[in-house]
């Protein structure tokens, strides 16, 4: 059977807005049959969503996390949570021992810590997120052109941080049974078709993100000015 899946969603456990329960309810409404809540460096959001899905019905929640490795962000999806390891080689070993899949997130979105050219270490990765609805079109295009011929699954996820962003970009996955093992195996075998999409919600999120970046650089500027003033006053006091 073929089902719709969004495998990169954030809840309020990390920097997303919605609760895991809200994510499950909204995903069902949007026709998704498979999701993975992938909060930063923790499986907690996905475990809470898994719990909610037991009560709410026909949706498969795959335990997941977006791990900030030493090279950049990597999505980890597993039957059960594993240790969150920063070293990509150690993370690969841990993933192999637990039959997880590793998917570099937004690999060429270097502003958002994509792993960039490290995608070339093909044995480490089970697929690539070539489309991310919160990345700019150029970063997505570079990912697609660079990765389309490597013989791995190409995924398209929302990376939603708001409820309305969920499922705007999604995948069709072909599974025999609706269970996590089958879903992970389908990703390994490339039985996945990307359905990319942008939405006004992902663009608004992006805008908010760049405003945050601007205010961050403003803070840096004012800190630098403060530091210079302090330095000058120290200089004067020593004279």
Return residues touching Zn ion (CB under 5 A): 66, 159
Nearer to Zn ion, 66 or 164 (CB): 66
Q: Output 32 or 175, the one with its CB closest to Zn ion.
A: 32
DSSP 8-state symbol, 166: T
User: Between 6 and 66, whose beta carbon lies closer to Zn ion?
Assistant: 66
Nearest approach, Cβ of 109 to Zn ion (angstroms)? 10
| 49 vs 34: CA distance, rounded Å | 11
Structure tokens at 50: 């898994």
Q: In the bound complex, what is the minimum distance in angstroms from residue 113's beta carbon to Zn ion?
A: 10
Beta strand 34-37 with 60-61: parallel, antiparallel or unpaired?
parallel
> Residue-wise over 125-146: b if at least 16 C-beta within 10 A, else e?
bbbbbbbbbbbeeebbebbbeb
Distance in Å, CB of 125 to Zn ion, minimum: 16
Closer residue to Zn ion (CB): 109 or 126:
109
CB of 207 to Zn ion, least distance (A): 17
Burial of 113 (0-12, 13-18, 19+ CB in 10 A): middle
Which is closer to Zn ion, CB of 94 or CB of 159? 159
- Residue whose tokens read 């009560």: 55
Dihedral angle sign, alpha carbons of residues 171, 131, 91, 189: positive
Q: Which is nearer to Zn ion, 2 or 137 (CB)?
A: 137
Q: Which is nearer to Zn ion, 49 or 175 (CB)?
A: 49
Minimum distance, C-beta of residue 16 to Zn ion, in the bound complex (Å) = 9
Question: Which residues fall within 8 angstroms of residue 6, CB to CB, at 6 or more apart?
Answer: 27, 32, 34, 35, 36, 157, 158, 160, 166, 167, 169, 170, 171
| Closest distance of CB 8 from Zn ion, Å | 6
Closest CB 170 distance from Zn ion, rounded Å: 15
Q: Are 74 and 89 in contact (CB under 8 A)?
A: no
Helical pair 20-29 and 44-56, crossing angle rounded to 10 deg: 50
- Nearest residue to Zn ion, using CB? 159
């Amino acid at each position: 059977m073929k089902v719709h899946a969004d495998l990169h969603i954030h809840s309020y456990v990390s920097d997303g807005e919605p609760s895991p329960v809200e994510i499950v309810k909204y995903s069902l409404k949007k026709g998704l049959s498979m999701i993975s809540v992938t909060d930063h460096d923790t499986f907690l959001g996905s475990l809470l969503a898994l719990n909610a899905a037991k009560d709410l019905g026909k949706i498969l929640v795959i335990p997941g996390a977006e791990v900030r490795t030493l090279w950049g962000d990597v999505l980890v999806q597993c039957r059960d949570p594993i240790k969150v390891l920063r070293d990509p080689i150690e993370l690969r070993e841990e993933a192999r021992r637990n039959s997880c899949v590793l998917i570099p997130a937004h690999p060429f979105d270097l502003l958002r810590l994509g792993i960039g050219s490290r995608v070339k270490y093909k044995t480490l990765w089970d697929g690539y997120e070539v489309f991310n609805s919160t990345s700019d079109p150029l970063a997505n295009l570079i990912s697609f052109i660079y990765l389309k011929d490597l013989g791995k699954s190409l995924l398209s996820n929302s990376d939603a941080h708001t409820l309305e962003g969920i499922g705007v970009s999604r995948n069709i996955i072909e599974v025999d049974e609706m269970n996590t093992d089958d879903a992970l195996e389908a990703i390994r075998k490339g039985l996945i078709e990307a359905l990319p999409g942008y939405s006004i919600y992902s663009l608004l999120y992006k805008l908010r993100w760049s405003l945050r970046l601007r205010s961050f650089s403003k803070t840096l500027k004012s800190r630098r000015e403060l530091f210079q003033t302090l330095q000058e006053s120290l200089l004067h006091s020593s004279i």
